Amino acid sequence: MRSAIINVMEGAARKAARSLVHDFGEVEQLQVSKKGPGDFVTNADLKSEKILRKELRRARPDYGFLLEESGAEEGTDPDNTWLVDPLDGTSNFLHGNPHFSITIALRREGKTQAGIILDPIQDEFFWAERGGGAFLNDRRLRVSARKQLAEALVAFGEPFGGRPGKKSIAEVLPRVMEKTAGLRRTGAAAQDLAYVAAGRFDAYWEEGLKPWDMAAGILLVQEAGGYVTEIGGGKNMLETGSVLATNDRLYPTVAKLLREAYAAASTVTD
């Protein structure tokens, strides 16, 4: 049974999704403005965020917000904050690639209490609550059970445009590639984490993320029985923007491989 808070999050996401799907059908006509190197904001982003803010505020008027486009908005309830990414996978969206999502997390007293990731094109609704498991629509999720790195399909993210980290990732990838069954780069961090929770990817790592990119996805992986840390092993993923998600059987091997690969590349954050 979905709780009231999951129903609130789903309702807001599905309403915003209708706007996104409409704009996706007219993607060539969208007005686009640059936010930074390789990072774009579209009218679709802004409309989606406006809908999400309105719907979530109507349901829980006292909660605060941390929004990708608009930043932080304090609420009268200091213990509850919505983390909202109205369009994760913006570059995919702009190029007509149907791999993007809406992601919402609820942080309560410093912990992620609930999270959802909605893929509006495939109608896949990933959701989780702390202590209640992770689900895709109405199906319970479990991370993969693979033990061997040579059999693992691993996803990764790389910095946009001219952001720091390009040199490191270029040196790390060949080392990971030769030890695994394959690498995948999708361009949508929230869905990469959801796919780890669903067992579609055996592991995923990335740096330079924001809290709204990964809060919901981290909870999904954890509630699906997975293991999530920073690439270096720490537990402050939302603060550092560094994340490694996999199952507990693969984690020691994947973590060791990445640490050694980044060490050989001289630095994790060049």
Number of domains in the chain: 2
Average pLDDT of the chain, as a whole number: 93
Q: What is the pLDDT of residues 21-35, one digit of tens each?
A: 999 988 877 777 777
- Whether 160 and 213 share a structural domain: yes
Give the CATH number of the domain where residue 239 resides.
3.40.190.80
- Whether 47 and 96 share a structural domain: yes
Residue at a domain's end among 92, 121, 140: 140
For residue 111, is it within any domain?
yes
For residue 64, is it within any domain?
yes
Residue at a domain's end among 107, 140, 173: 140
Mean pLDDT for the stretch of residues 96-113: 97
Q: What is the pLDDT of residue 163?
A: 66
**Length, in residues, of the chain:** 270
Phi, then psi, of 89 in degrees rounded to 5? 100, 40
C-alpha distances (whole Å) from 36 to each of 47, 155, 269 are 20, 24, 19
> Is residue 270's pLDDT more than 60?
no
State the pTM of this model: 0.94
Residue at a domain's end among 116, 140, 164: 140
Mean pLDDT for the stretch of residues 188-210: 97
Q: What is the pLDDT of residues 123-162, one digit of tens each?
A: 999 999 999 999 999 999 999 999 999 999 999 998 776 6
- Whether 59 and 153 share a structural domain: no
Residue pair 38/163 in contact (Cβ under 8 Å)? The answer is: yes
Give the CATH number of the domain where residue 66 resides.
3.30.540.10
- Whether 232 and 185 share a structural domain: yes
* 219 — pLDDT class (breaks 50, 70, 90): very high
Q: Which domain holds residue 10?
A: 4-140
- Whether 197 and 114 share a structural domain: no
In the chain, what percentage of residues exceed pLDDT 90?
Answer: 81
- Whether 208 and 237 share a structural domain: yes
Residues 6+ apart with CB under 8 A from 85: 68, 102, 103, 104, 190, 210, 212, 213
Q: What is the pLDDT of residue 161?
A: 62
Residue pair 153/182 in contact (Cβ under 8 Å)? The answer is: yes
- Whether 35 and 135 share a structural domain: yes
Q: How far apart are CA 192 and CA 203, in angstroms?
A: 9
Q: What is the pLDDT of residue 159?
A: 76
